[in-house]
Amino acid sequence: MATIYDVARLAGVSAATVSRVLNGHVKVDPTLAERVMAAVSQLGYRRNAVARNLRTSRTSLWAVIISDVQNPFFTSMVRGIEDVASSAGYSVVLCNSDENPDKESSYIAAALSEQMAGVVISPSSNQVDDVNLLLEAGCPVVVIDRELDNVTADTVLVDNEHGAELATTHLVEQGNTRIACITGPQWLSSATQRFDGYARALSKAGQSVDETLVRYADFREQGGYDAMASLLDDGPAPDAVFATNNLMTIGAMECLVQRGLSVPDDVAIVGFDSIPWADLIRPTLTTVAQPTYEVGRRAAQLLTKRAESPDAEPERVVLPTSLQVRASSTR
């Protein structure tokens, strides 16, 4: 592998000049620059980023640590990040923590020891101490989708409580009186906030939360399925269900379909998060839509801002959600 010294020798200049040509921004005699470029292409020289990173103690890589690559919500958000990153000269690498604190921890360690230029993370719980390691190391961090209790960092969220309230109110207005809630882990703010919205809507409607109609699942398809099954098997069935993320909504639907129950006639259903090809599913699904691309874009923008002014006050961006009424909830 050729180094700048090889290039320098071939071009008849010093290594410093090669470096200057390669990095631009410093005046170099055009003739020399041309000789350097010729030598570069003749040798097929490629800069060794590792050495450069060591010297400058920064890379041009952003790590995006997401909790589930199989969830379309996150992959769609990634597009928003990538677009900002590439126009700011960064490359994005995705790390899949799989909702597993150990994997998450090891990816944070990697981001740290590889000196990543920035990290966007959807944490696996509301208490991820490792994020403070990044902050202490001066690595710009933006937290997305879920809030951290013990960390003050730039954060991009959606209006979970409001979205959930809209969804639940809609179910109330359709005449449902036994509205169940399949929510996510209690250690995730996205789950608790959505549950709070559900509770608030019920309360406003003069209904109270019936704990026998609440299930805590894991934001995955199977979890939604199992929760729905449990709702049907234990005690009198609900007449409606609010599921707090896309995959659990799918799981719940699958359970209902498999039991031969009719949606929305036997059980109405509303989900949180969009669902790909929702219009092919029968009945079509009423959901609370999130601006996924925008979440990614804003997160990336905050990351670039943070890199420029490390000591600025952290920002907390909350984006709006909206209820998309379709067939699964209307009688």
Q: What is the DSSP letter of 10?
A: H
Closest CA to 81 of 145, 162, 125: 145
Q: What whole-number distance in Å separates Cα of residue 122 and Cα of residue 104?
A: 10
Residues 58-77 that bind a copy of itself (CB under 8 A): 59, 61, 63, 69-70, 72, 75-76
Report the residue number, 110 or 205, with the smaller CB distance to a copy of itself: 110
Spatial contact of 224 and 248, defined as CB atoms under 8 Å apart: yes
Q: What whole-number distance in Å separates Cα of residue 8 and Cα of residue 19?
A: 9
Interface with a copy of itself (CB under 8 A), residue total 51
47 near DNA (CB under 7 A): yes
Spatial contact of 307 and 117, defined as CB atoms under 8 Å apart: yes
14 near a copy of itself (CB under 8 A): no
Report the residue number, 135 or 317, with the smaller CB distance to a copy of itself: 135
Q: What whole-number distance in Å separates Cα of residue 313 and Cα of residue 316?
A: 10
- The number of C-alpha atoms within 13 Å of 301 and in the hemisphere containing its C-beta is 11
CB of 264 to a copy of itself, least distance (A): 14
Residues 6+ away with beta carbon under 8 Å from 125 = 101, 185, 187, 188
Q: Would you state the structure tokens that stand for residue 303, as one six-digit string?
A: 């990351």
5 near DNA (CB under 7 A): yes
Closest CA to 223 of 257, 179, 255: 255
Residues 198-237 that bind a copy of itself (CB under 8 A): 221
Q: Report the residue from 51, 109, 257, 312 that binds DNA according to the rule CB under 7 A.
A: 51
Phi and psi dihedrals of 189, rounded to 5? -65, -35
Report the residue number, 51 or 257, with the smaller CB distance to DNA: 51
Q: Select from 48-56, 184-192, 221-229, 304-312 the region that touches DNA (CB under 7 A).
A: 48-56
13 near DNA (CB under 7 A): yes
Other beta carbons within 10 Å of 71: 20
Residues 173-192 that bind a copy of itself (CB under 8 A): none
Interface with DNA (CB under 7 A), residue total 29
22 near DNA (CB under 7 A): yes
Residues 77-136 that bind a copy of itself (CB under 8 A): 78-79, 82, 86, 91-96, 98, 103, 106-107, 109-110, 112-115, 133
Q: Residues of 264-281 as b/e, b for ≥16 C-beta within 10 angstroms?
A: beebbbbbbbbbeebeeb
Closest CA to 187 of 109, 314, 74, 101: 101
208 near DNA (CB under 7 A): no
Q: Select from 42-50, 186-194, 226-234, 244-252 the region that touches DNA (CB under 7 A).
A: 42-50
Q: What whole-number distance in Å separates Cα of residue 23 and Cα of residue 235?
A: 69
Q: Which does 82 bind (CB under 5 to 8 A by kind): DNA, a copy of itself, none?
A: a copy of itself
> Token match 């109405």: residue?
268
> Token match 């007449």: residue?
239
196 near a copy of itself (CB under 8 A): no
Report the residue number, 3 or 324, with the smaller CB distance to DNA: 3
Parallel, antiparallel or unpaired: strands 322-324 and 316-319: unpaired
200 near DNA (CB under 7 A): no
Residues engaged in binding a copy of itself (CB under 8 A): 1, 46-51, 53-54, 57, 59, 61, 63, 69-70, 72, 75-76, 78-79, 82, 86, 91-96, 98, 103, 106-107, 109-110, 112-115, 133, 137, 221, 250, 253-254, 257, 276-277, 279-282
By the criterion CB under 7 A, which residues form the site for DNA? 1, 3-5, 12-17, 19-20, 22-23, 26-29, 31-32, 45, 47-48, 51-52, 54-57
